[in-house]
Structure formats: C-alpha cells, structure tokens
Amino acid sequence: MSDRPSNALIPNLLTPQDIEPNWRWEGKLPAWGHTSVDFEKRVDHDRLRRYRLGRTRQALKNSDCGTLLLFDVNNIRYVSATKIGEWERDKMCRFCLLTGDDAPYVWDFGSAAVHHKKHADWLVPDHCRAGVVGMRGTIPPSFGLMKKYAEEIAGLIEDAGMKGMPVGVDYAETAMFHALQEAGLNVVDGQQIMLEAREIKNWDEIQLLTQAASMVDGVYHMIYENLKPGIRENDIVALSNKMLYEMGSDDVEAINAVSGERCNPHPHNFTDRYFRPGDQAFFDILQSYQGYRTCYYRTFNIGMSTPCQRDAYEKARNWLDAAISIIKPGVTTDKVAAVWPTAQSLGFPDELSAFGLQFGHGLGLALHERPIISRAVSFENPMVIETGMVFALETYCPATDGYSAARIEEEVVVTDTGCEVISLFPAQELPIANRY
C-alpha cells in the first residue's frame, strides 16, 4: 500500500458552491423543453453533478464512516453521474467507491469503463475501472472475483487514509458482504447516508422532475381520450409506453391500470380486462426522464358515474388537499400523516395492512426516497420537512358499492414558503372520459 499522506478529507475540497442548491422560487416552476438551447438557461448538468457529489461528501462527513461503497444504481448515478442503461437496475454488475473527498471510483461492466474514460470527463480516468463481482450469483464466489475486488477496495481505502474507519455499504450480495469483511473492512449501513444526501434537490433536479411530470400530463390527456368500452387495461399501458418513449423517457418502470371490480381491494398491476360503461378506473405512471422519476395517479370514470363513486373521489381529493395544505418547511411528517384516515375506517385491520394507500414519499432518482409519510411509521419516527424536498402524495378511498375506488396522487416541490404542485392534469373533480 502507498505511504502517501491522506488527502481524502481535505476540507477545502468541499466548497460552499458545490452544495448551493441555486433555487429560484420566484414565479412558477419551469417545465422546459428537453433540448439544450443558447437563449435560455435550462438544466446545468455540470452544476448538477457537482451538487450531487458535494451532497454525498457532506453526508459522509456527517456520519461515522470514512468511505461509501455503492451497488445501488441510483446511488452510483447520484455520485458518479454514470448510467449504462435500465437493464442494469437489478443485475448487481457495477459498483462505486467514494473515500471522503476523493474522486469516486467506478467499476463498470466490460467496455463501459473505457467508454466513461473517453466521454465522462468529470471523472478521473484512472478511477474508471472494469470490474464485476457476482451478477446476482451467476458468477459464483468460488470464481474469486469477489475476493479480488474486496481486496482492491480495501487497498484503496487504506491508501486514502481511511483504514479502520467504517465502510458504508448500501446493499450487496451476501457473499460480497462476507468478502469485504474477510478483507478486513468494517461494513455498516450506508444506504441511510445516501438517502440523507439525496433528500434535498437542487434547482436542476427540480427542473428535471418537473419535466418528467409534464410528460405524464400529456399521457393522461391521451388516456382521457381513449378510455372507452372495447379498450383494455393493457391497451392503455401499451399506448402510454409508446407515448412516453417517444417523448424522451429513459425508463417506463411501470404503469398500473386498475378498473371496475379490480379497484377494491387495490392491486398494483394491469390485466387484459376490458373497460365497461360506468367503470371507475385509476392509473399510476412510473417513468423517468434523465433518471428523475414520476409517481402520479389519476382516477377516471368511463362514460358515467354513480353517487358513491363521486363520493369516494371527493373524499380522496379532500384528504390529499389537506396534506398539501400543510406541507412546508419545518412541518414534521407525523403532522401530515395525521390528516389522513385510519386504516380501520377504511376496512383494514391495521396501518401496515393499508400501507401505501394514504402515503407520501420522497421522489428523485428513485421512486421512493426519504422522507416517508405514513400513519404506519411517521407517528413514532417523525422527520422534518425541508425546502427542496420533493414528495409524491397519494390517497385512496374505496366506494360504498364494494368494488369501485378512487386513487389520486400529486407531486409537490417544497418551496421556502409552502409547496407547489407539479402534476397538473386536472383532478379537482372526477373526470368522466367519453361522457354518455
């Protein structure tokens, strides 16, 4: 190992400019086009990269750890601004090391390391390395790659002057945990460090989230025009996928399409069920633009509605508006959860059985980020809402007919004085598609 003095925690390497969010709360949040232009200041990707790395370094300094070792693709992207395709999401084929204020190391799948040396000039070329460990067990530990890279990682940590300090790992294959421990590393939970870093979005992240939401606005208008008998849930899913990818989505994670008697109890998928006159139907569109995701429910009725369906919708809307009205800096998550109905009042035995129905969650590079807002967890573990957080807030109300239900969700950006809704397809009243 090198005897050079440690440079990994030099305070001057983390500057105030790196973690300045550059918010601009005057006027309405912009939803730009997706191209770069010379006549408007849009997303500044260099500033975005510096901010995310700066936030991570700050969160690491606030912890007991000296190093972060990351396998979660969202964390890797946040720290290194690298991405090799959505196919990697569940493959466990890449990893990233951050030792204090040093530049991140990225071990990449095959030729991706060479590609990043050539095209990702914000990375240190020597830190772009080829490497793979288990790929969800398809490369068995007996092949020796986990041992090889665990020892390489331990050496880099020692070179950085961090030997003996805990290593925060977000998640990894079980065998890799063992390999790291056998290499002498004190492995602890690093996911909370990363989620702390990712809580507060800078201006560029907020713009990307707003752009992503604007795409879904358009998809819901298309759905509104196409909802009618003779069309199936999966037809809507297919049309939505096509439209999103044509608009520039980089990943359509899922589209939930739930209608008729499938609405209650609430599933989270779609089928080949045909829409029928009078159906209540709700949809959730989960997609991303430049990695920044949407979680955005809307409910429609097909052709007509009944009093109990309208009543369910009105209750879900009122619960959602009550939450939005109190979202602002300094409010704690338990205060928001308290405005939502109990699980028992909706016919569920306990709050965990109703988890995710009256729900708030941070939104960013992942679908679910900190803080979480739920009656199941927030009363005992309240968290403070801060400027720059972005939430998806969602409510659900079953109808008294025993099978219909309403589901509504809004995405909100926490400003310096309150919050602004960025999911704009109209939802104050129950939309009737192709009214008879």
The H or E element containing residue 297 is: strand 296-302
CATH classification code of 203-433: 3.90.230.10
Residues listed for the chain: 436
Residue 195: which of 339, 74, 65, 97 has the closest Cα? Answer: 74
Could you tell me the residue ranges of all domains in the chain? 11-198, 203-433
Q: Which residues contact 168 (CB under 8 A, 6 or more apart)?
A: 60, 63, 65, 67, 68, 69, 188, 189, 190, 191, 193, 194
pLDDT digits (tens, 9 = 90+) for 208-228: 999 999 999 999 999 999 999
Q: How many CB atoms lie within 10 A of CB 317?
A: 20
Q: What pLDDT, on a 0 to 100 scale, did the predictor assign at position 13? A: 63
Residues 182, 151: Cα–Cα separation, whole Å: 9
Q: What pLDDT, on a 0 to 100 scale, did the predictor assign at position 100? A: 84
Residues 315, 317: Cα–Cα separation, whole Å: 5
pLDDT digits (tens, 9 = 90+) for 345-383: 999 999 999 999 999 999 999 999 999 999 999 999 999
Residue 150: which of 128, 170, 127, 167 has the closest Cα? Answer: 167
pLDDT digits (tens, 9 = 90+) for 347-357: 999 999 999 99
Cα end-to-end distance, the chain, whole Å:
77
pTM score, two decimals?
Answer: 0.95
DSSP letter string, 116-130: HHHH-TTS-GGGEEE
Beta pairing, strands 292-293 & 280-289: antiparallel
Whether the domain at 11-198 and the domain at 203-433 fall into the same CATH topology: no
Could you say which DSSP state residue 384 is in? B
Overall average pLDDT of the 3-19 stretch: 56
**pLDDT exceeds cutoff 70 at 102:** yes
Pick the CATH number of 11-198 from 2.60.40.1120, 3.40.350.10, 2.40.50.140, 3.30.470.20: 3.40.350.10
With bands split at pLDDT 50, 70 and 90, how would you rate the model's confidence at 5?
very low
C-beta of residue 424 within 8 angstroms of C-beta of residue 216: no
With bands split at pLDDT 50, 70 and 90, how would you rate the model's confidence at 7?
very low
Q: Is 253 exposed, middle or buried (0-12, 13-18, 19+ CB in 10 A)?
A: middle
